[in-house]
Chains A and B, each alone.
Chain A
């Protein structure tokens, strides 16, 4: 079974802090994705990566950056956390040529 893990289930950070959210998948998938989920807005794509060191902006990249130094790991970085980045963050992966995305359990981030 594909497993996607995220470093934290719950995280509380202060405004202005630098925040790292880590995602690891164990199925050698080429494609990895970061979404944020907010009530009434569904899932919105922040960034995705289709290969090591490659990244593409999604629909809402502002205030975020990503890093993919190894195939199995995709990190989301909040350079200077703000209260409007309080949200549920979901990581997903997908194999090349495949259709289904596999999701991690999510990280609920609160910025105070």
Chain B
């Protein structure tokens, strides 16, 4: 069963604006990861945040994690047309050997 649930399912913004995507999960985790998928391609790892971390930055990406609410958010600042893609959160549950992916947020950046 899918543990991660992304919100919104689709997001369309203007180039230069910030994009925020949210992910909720159900069980205790070791870490939470975000991946990007360009249309018709495989997924690419973006960033990982561990369960004992609250915020992490990588370039224009900012990830937050609230374990009390079992939720995470991915912020992309100063969006570009090349950021158009689907974004997935994935949880690495405690004791599990596998990642559980959410359904993804489809982000469209309009020029």
Q: Which residues from chain A sit less than 8 Å from chain B, CB to CB?
A: 4, 31, 33, 35, 40-45, 48, 50, 56, 58-59, 88, 90, 92, 99-106, 108
Contact = CB atoms under 8 A, between A and B. Distances in A.
Interface in B1-56: 1-2, 31, 33, 35, 40-45, 48
Given A43-B88, A99-B33, A100-B33, A48 B98 contact: yes
Given A42-B88, A43-B88, A101 B99 contact: yes
Majority SS of interface residues in chain B? Answer: strand
Contact of B104 (A42, A45, A90, A102): A42
B98 A33 contact: yes
Given A42-B2, A102-B45, A104-B42, A56 B101 contact: no
Interface size class of B (residues with CB under 8 A): 20 to 34
A46 to B, nearest CB: 11
Given A56-B97, A99-B92, A101-B45, 14 more contacts: A4-B42, A31-B97, A33-B98, A40-B103, A42-B2, A43-B43, A44-B2, A92-B43, A99-B31, A100-B48, A103-B42, A105-B42, A106-B40, A106-B41
B48 A105 contact: no
* Complex A-B, nearest 6 residue pairs according to Cβ-Cβ distance, in ascending order: A103-B42, A42-B103, A43-B101, A100-B45, A103-B43, A105-B42
A12 to B, nearest CB: 16
Given A31-B97, A50-B97, A90 B42 contact: yes
A43 B84 CA distance: 19
A33 B96 CA distance: 14
A100 B103 CA distance: 18
Nearest to A4: B42
Contacts of A42: 2, 88, 101-104
